[in-house]
Structure 1
Amino acid sequence: MGDLIIEFSNWIWGTPLLLLLLGGGLYMFVYSGFIPFVGFKHALKVVGGKYDDPNATGDITSLQALSSAVAATVGLGNISGVALAIGMGGPGAIFWMWMSAFVGMATKFFTCTLAIMYRGTDSSGHVQGGPMYVIEEGMGKKWKFLSVIFCVAGILGLLVIFQANQLTAVLRAVMLEPFGLDQGMPTRWAIGLILMGLVATVILGGIQRIAKVASRLVPFMVTVYFISVLVILGKNVGQVPEMLWLILQDAFTGDAVLGGAVGQVIIIGARRAAFSNEAGIGTAPMVHGASKNSEPVREGLIAMLGPFIDTIVVCTLTALAIMVTGVWQTGEKDGVLLTLSAFEQGLPGIGKYLLMVSVLVFALSTMFTYSYYGHKCFNYLFGADKADYYNYFYLATLVGGAVTSLSVVMSFVDAMYAVMAFPTMISALYLSPKVREASRDYFQRMKNMDT
């Protein structure tokens, strides 16, 4: 069964999906008038709360929406995902993660603008947002089958089995194995059950509690991780320019370009970028669609910052820490353990504990937010009165993630992400003229306000 999951994941992440994600994102990047660059300064003003309207429809503020989305993306994708990318594709894979992130900023602008523009209501009459509602409200009922495909894949792909797996690996490596306390599979089960209890205390409180906890955890986890990585880089600052050049050089070696658009390094970089920042997958529009914002374009601008924070900043720092310490050449491909080696090498004595704290907070914050995504998919398919049943299914699978092999877990999540991407990108491209029209109107109004 595990081999079939891995084969399916490798098959679906072929040329068509790469063209859809990277080609579609590049189209939106140009079609929007290079919005990641021209709208960046205004996006920073917006996220500061200058334009918040507490009376607007929605459940959470735009800042909370961004914090929740970043809590889901700035996580183990930045610690384990980057390490996996380097371990499997070499330093050049990071370059293709960067390229995916820049076009991903445009993709998120479009998909999250649409999430506010085409909000729908669930069976209880509550306002909801996300690709499934964008498809049904924006494209029409005849396209509803795409909404169903998205939600089925979302229910399965948004289980945090990868986070549970990698957090378990770190806790065992740092807290148990050095003291001879690791008992193998029984230890995995025990950690999985503990995680299930911790996550239950937050997610059973709904999106308000999730957003509140995420908005407090995100600044803390980013600060701890940033300081740790910057100290490692500071100790090896002379190697940083060399490593940046190596990333650029390796991206265009034979392995990367012989296969053209499906070169192995490009594929690895794109897959890890998709898992890292989720642009085009459709998760962020679900939480941004719950924002108290009556300006669709404004929400899209806020969402656009996610891939920049996540991939351009955090993933780059992680990659450089792995490279300047030299651990990437050891052949280790078990994501988080490679990053753990970098922290041990760069910060002897305390590095592994700092990473453990970061991984713990990263993983838990992602676990909180993903439950909301899956809950919304379940709500759409089965109704609001049955949606809470998903939380119990979600909690039970945490244990499964803790005891399953990394390759199977990663391939399963990758495959479901790929399935989710097709409806999300198709709807964004189909409705892209609506976004461009709204964008022109919005910036004209902002210009008039400033004069």
Structure 2
Amino acid sequence: MGDFIVSFADWIWGTPMLILLMGGGIILLVHSGFVPFRRIGHAISLLRGKYDDSNIPGQITSFQALSSAIAATVGLGNISGVAIAITMGGPGAIFWMWVSAFVGMATKFYTCSLAIMYKGKDSNGEIQGGPMYVIEEGMGKKWKFLSYIFCIAGVLGLLAIFQANQLTAVIRTVLLEPNGLDEGDKTRWIIGVSMMVLVAIVILGGIKRIASVASKLVPFMVVLYFLTVLLILFNYLGEIPEMLLMIITDAFSGKAAAGGVVGAVIITGARRAAFSNEAGIGTAPMVHGASRNNEPIREGLIAMLGPFIDTIVVCTLTALVIMVTGVWQTTESDGVRLTLAAFDQALPGFGRYLLMLAVLVFALSTMFTYSYYGHKCFNYLFGADKADYYNYFYLITIVAGAVASLQVVISLVDGMYAVMAIPTMISTFFLAPKVRTAAKDYFRRMKDQKA
């Protein structure tokens, strides 16, 4: 079964998926009139809550929506995912992660604007948002099969198995193995069950508790990780320009990729960027669709900041740490263990503990938000009265993720992400003219207000 999952993920992440996400993102970037570059200042002012209105229907604020979305994206994809990208595709894969992020900003602008524009109602009459409702409400009932495809893949792809796997690896490597306390599979089971209990305390309280916890954890974890990485890079200041140049040159030479094929590096970068910032996958629209905002374009502008924070800032910092320390060439470690080796070398004695704390917060915050995404997919498929059963399934799979192999775990998530991207991008292209018309109207009104 594990071999089939790996083979399926490798097959679906070929050229067609590259064209769909990166090619499609470029089309949307141009179609928007390069909104991510021209309107980023306005997006930041929106994030500060300048236009928030507590009287607008919705479950959370736009800031909480972005915090929850970033909690799901700024996480182990930035620590472990970047390490996997460099291991598989060399430094050049990071360049293609950058490209994916910039076009992903346009994709998120469209998908999250549509999440507000085309909200739906679940079987309890509760207003909901996300690609499944965008498809049903915006494209019509005849396209509903795409909603089902998205939700079935979401139920399987939005499990916290990767986070559980990598958090378990860090705890064992940093705390247990050096002290002779690691007992192999028994230890994995104990850590898995402990994580399950901790996550249960938060997710069983619903989106409001998840958003409340995420809005407190996300700023803390980003600042902690950011400062630690800057401390490391300060010690290697002279090598940073050379590393940045290597990222760019390797992106086109493909020397580090298997067979020296540039296309392989591009696919690796796009695949890891999709896992890292989720642009085009359709997860962020589910949480942004729950925000108290009656301006679709406003929500889209806020949401587009996610890929920039996630990939351009955080992933780049992680990549530079791995590269300047040279561990990507001197160790056979992969995933989070490779990043751990870099922190260990750069900050002997306490670097590994700082990273462990960051991984702990990253992993848990992602686990909290993913549960909400999967819950919404399950809700759509089986009804609101049965949706809570998903939480128990989700919690059990945390334990499974802790004991499974990294390759199978990452391949299952990658494969399901690709399946989710197909209906998300189809609906986005179909309804893109609606977003463009709304954007013109919105910016005209903003201009009139200033006048």
Q: Which residue of structure 1 aligns with residue 127 of structure 2?
A: 127
Q: Does 1:388 align with 2:388?
A: yes
Deviates further, 257-266 or 243-252:
257-266
Is the CA contact (8 Å cut-off) linking 1:5 and 1:408 kept in structure 2? Answer: yes
Is the CA contact (8 Å cut-off) linking 1:14 and 1:262 kept in structure 2? Answer: no
1:127-206 equivalent positions in 2, closer than 5 A: 127-206=127-206
Aligned-partner residue type, residue 15 of structure 1: T
Paired with 1:258 and 1:88, the residues of 2 have a C-alpha distance of 8
Measured at CA, do residues 260 and 294 of structure 1 come closer, stay the same or move farther in structure 2, by a change above 3 Å? farther
Q: Which residue of structure 2 aligns with residue 351 of structure 1?
A: 351
Q: Which residue of structure 1 aligns with residue 414 of structure 2?
A: 414
Please state how far the C-alpha of 1:136 moved relative to its aligned partner. Answer: 0.2
Paired with 1:347 and 1:217, the residues of 2 have a C-alpha distance of 24
Please state how far the C-alpha of 1:309 moved relative to its aligned partner. Answer: 0.1
Q: Which residue of structure 2 aligns with residue 21 of structure 1?
A: 21
SS of alignment partner, residue 409 of structure 2: helix
Q: Which residue of structure 2 aligns with residue 85 of structure 1?
A: 85
For 1:102-148, what per-residue CA distance to the aligned partner results, in whole angstroms no more than 9, with x for missing partners? 00000000000000000000000000000000000000000000000
Please state how far the C-alpha of 1:258 moved relative to its aligned partner. Answer: 11
Paired with 1:166 and 1:259, the residues of 2 have a C-alpha distance of 29
Paired with 2:330 and 2:256, the residues of 1 have a C-alpha distance of 21
Please state how far the C-alpha of 1:210 moved relative to its aligned partner. Answer: 0.1
Q: Which residue of structure 1 aligns with residue 34 of structure 2?
A: 34
1:363-442 equivalent positions in 2, closer than 5 A: 363-442=363-442
1:198-347 equivalent positions in 2, closer than 5 A: 198-255=198-255, 263-347=263-347
Measured at CA, do residues 10 and 274 of structure 1 come closer, stay the same or move farther in structure 2, by a change above 3 Å? same
Aligned-partner residue type, residue 270 of structure 1: A
Q: Does 1:360 align with 2:360?
A: yes
Q: Which residue of structure 2 aligns with residue 11 of structure 1?
A: 11
Aligned-partner residue type, residue 273 of structure 1: A
Paired with 1:222 and 1:230, the residues of 2 have a C-alpha distance of 12
SS of alignment partner, residue 304 of structure 2: helix
1:90-109 equivalent positions in 2, closer than 5 A: 90-109=90-109
Measured at CA, do residues 294 and 75 of structure 1 come closer, stay the same or move farther in structure 2, by a change above 3 Å? same
Please state how far the C-alpha of 1:256 moved relative to its aligned partner. Answer: 8.2
Is the CA contact (8 Å cut-off) linking 1:256 and 1:264 kept in structure 2? Answer: no
The total of aligned residue pairs comes to 451
Deviates further, 252-261 or 346-355:
252-261
Paired with 1:257 and 1:203, the residues of 2 have a C-alpha distance of 40
Is the CA contact (8 Å cut-off) linking 1:47 and 1:302 kept in structure 2? Answer: yes
Is the CA contact (8 Å cut-off) linking 1:70 and 1:218 kept in structure 2? Answer: yes
Is the CA contact (8 Å cut-off) linking 2:28 and 2:106 kept in structure 1? Answer: yes
Please state how far the C-alpha of 1:254 moved relative to its aligned partner. Answer: 4.4
Aligned-partner residue type, residue 434 of structure 1: K
Paired with 1:260 and 1:46, the residues of 2 have a C-alpha distance of 44
Measured at CA, do residues 134 and 259 of structure 1 come closer, stay the same or move farther in structure 2, by a change above 3 Å? farther
SS of alignment partner, residue 52 of structure 2: coil
| Structure 1 unaligned spans of 5+ | none
Paired with 2:361 and 2:369, the residues of 1 have a C-alpha distance of 12
Aligned-partner residue type, residue 111 of structure 1: T
RMSD: 1.3
SS of alignment partner, residue 420 of structure 2: helix
TM-score by length of 2: 0.98
Paired with 1:342 and 1:57, the residues of 2 have a C-alpha distance of 47
Paired with 1:269 and 1:245, the residues of 2 have a C-alpha distance of 17
Measured at CA, do residues 368 and 201 of structure 1 come closer, stay the same or move farther in structure 2, by a change above 3 Å? same
Q: Which residue of structure 1 aligns with residue 116 of structure 2?
A: 116
SS of alignment partner, residue 263 of structure 1: helix
Q: Which residue of structure 1 aligns with residue 53 of structure 2?
A: 53
Please state how far the C-alpha of 1:262 moved relative to its aligned partner. Answer: 7.5
Please state how far the C-alpha of 1:179 moved relative to its aligned partner. Answer: 0.4
Is the CA contact (8 Å cut-off) linking 1:165 and 1:401 kept in structure 2? Answer: yes
Paired with 2:332 and 2:384, the residues of 1 have a C-alpha distance of 45
Please state how far the C-alpha of 1:421 moved relative to its aligned partner. Answer: 0.3
SS of alignment partner, residue 418 of structure 1: helix
Please state how far the C-alpha of 1:331 moved relative to its aligned partner. Answer: 4.6
Aligned-partner residue type, residue 357 of structure 1: L
For 1:355-406, what per-residue CA distance to the aligned partner results, in whole angstroms no more than 9, with x for missing partners? 0000000000000000000000000010000000000000000000000000
Measured at CA, do residues 232 and 254 of structure 1 come closer, stay the same or move farther in structure 2, by a change above 3 Å? closer
| Structure 2 unaligned spans of 5+ | none
SS of alignment partner, residue 252 of structure 1: helix
Paired with 1:368 and 1:29, the residues of 2 have a C-alpha distance of 31
Paired with 2:293 and 2:10, the residues of 1 have a C-alpha distance of 39
Identity %: 74
Q: Which residue of structure 2 aligns with residue 73 of structure 1?
A: 73
Aligned-partner residue type, residue 273 of structure 2: A
For 1:266-318, what per-residue CA distance to the aligned partner results, in whole angstroms no more than 9, with x for missing partners? 01000000000000000000000000000000000000000000000000000
Paired with 1:146 and 1:331, the residues of 2 have a C-alpha distance of 44
Please state how far the C-alpha of 1:17 moved relative to its aligned partner. Answer: 1.1
For 1:215-267, what per-residue CA distance to the aligned partner results, in whole angstroms no more than 9, with x for missing partners? 00001111111111000000000000000000001001045899999811001
Paired with 2:11 and 2:384, the residues of 1 have a C-alpha distance of 35
For 1:336-360, what per-residue CA distance to the aligned partner results, in whole angstroms no more than 9, with x for missing partners? 0000001001111100000000000
Measured at CA, do residues 46 and 264 of structure 1 come closer, stay the same or move farther in structure 2, by a change above 3 Å? same
Please state how far the C-alpha of 1:332 moved relative to its aligned partner. Answer: 2.8
Paired with 1:208 and 1:154, the residues of 2 have a C-alpha distance of 21
Deviates further, 12-21 or 191-200:
12-21
For 1:182-224, what per-residue CA distance to the aligned partner results, in whole angstroms no more than 9, with x for missing partners? 0000000000000000000000000000000000000111111
Is the CA contact (8 Å cut-off) linking 2:150 and 2:420 kept in structure 1? Answer: yes
Please state how far the C-alpha of 1:330 moved relative to its aligned partner. Answer: 2.2
TM-score by length of 1: 0.98
Measured at CA, do residues 173 and 254 of structure 1 come closer, stay the same or move farther in structure 2, by a change above 3 Å? closer
Paired with 1:236 and 1:266, the residues of 2 have a C-alpha distance of 28
Paired with 1:173 and 1:106, the residues of 2 have a C-alpha distance of 39
Measured at CA, do residues 333 and 90 of structure 1 come closer, stay the same or move farther in structure 2, by a change above 3 Å? farther
